Structures are given as C-alpha cells and as structure tokens.
Amino acid sequence: MAGFKHIQAADAAKMMQKMHVTWVDIRDANSFQQGHILGAQRLDNTNVNAFLAQVDYQNPVIVCCYHGHSSQGAAAFLAEQGFDTVYSLDGGYEVWKLACPHLCESGL
C-alpha cells in the first residue's frame, strides 16, 4: 500500500505541538469511548463521507487503530482521496497510550 507514511508515537506527539493534525481513529465505538488520542475523530463506514466533505485536506492526517495494522489500509484509502500527507501510527493506540498518556482522553 502506497501513498502514506509510517509515524512513531513520539514523532506524532512532536508534530501535534507544531501544527494542526487531524487524528482519525478507526477502532470500534466502545474502545474509542474508553480512551483515544486527544482530539481524535472516530471514523467508520457510516461517517467517512461526511468526514471527507468537511475536513481540510492540507492538514496532515494520522490514522490510529489498535496495533498499527488496520490503520495502514485506512491511511492508503485516505491518501487515495487526495490528502496531502497521511500517516499510519505505528503500534496504534496500544503504543500511544503508553508513550503519551498525557495526550489521551476518554468519552465521545
């Protein structure tokens, strides 16, 4: 799958400090509600069209899943939709919550 890059949690956290990042979380609703990356939007097949219609394609997009595998397919899809810069978070939320607990929140 091409068109996206991989990013480590520490590098993504640094990027968040420097610029606006659009976070996309593709995990199930219950997992998202229990905890997710600060400011992340949950994305699935029911809301992807609305997301594509309202998001700024020039902001970097980082896709998060559980362990960094499923996010690669979603990142490739988003890159194909015309986003300038798309990343897949290596290690997913499981690594993120250990590396950056201060950048996590719960609820919807």
Q: Which domain holds residue 22?
A: 5-105
Q: Which two tokens stand for residue 56?
A: 């700024």
Measured CA to CA, the distance from residue 30 to residue 79 in angstroms comes to 27
CA atoms within 13 A on the CB side of 21: 26
Q: What is the pLDDT of residues 36-92, one digit of tens each?
A: 999 999 999 999 999 999 999 999 999 999 999 999 999 999 999 999 999 999 999
pTM over 0.75? The answer is yes
Q: Encode pLDDT of 76-105 as tens digits.
A: 999 999 999 999 999 999 999 999 999 999
Catalytic residues: 65
User: What residues have CB less than 8 Å from 68, skipping those under 6 apart?
Assistant: 88, 89, 90, 91, 92, 95
User: Residue 49 sits in a domain of what CATH number?
Assistant: 3.40.250.10
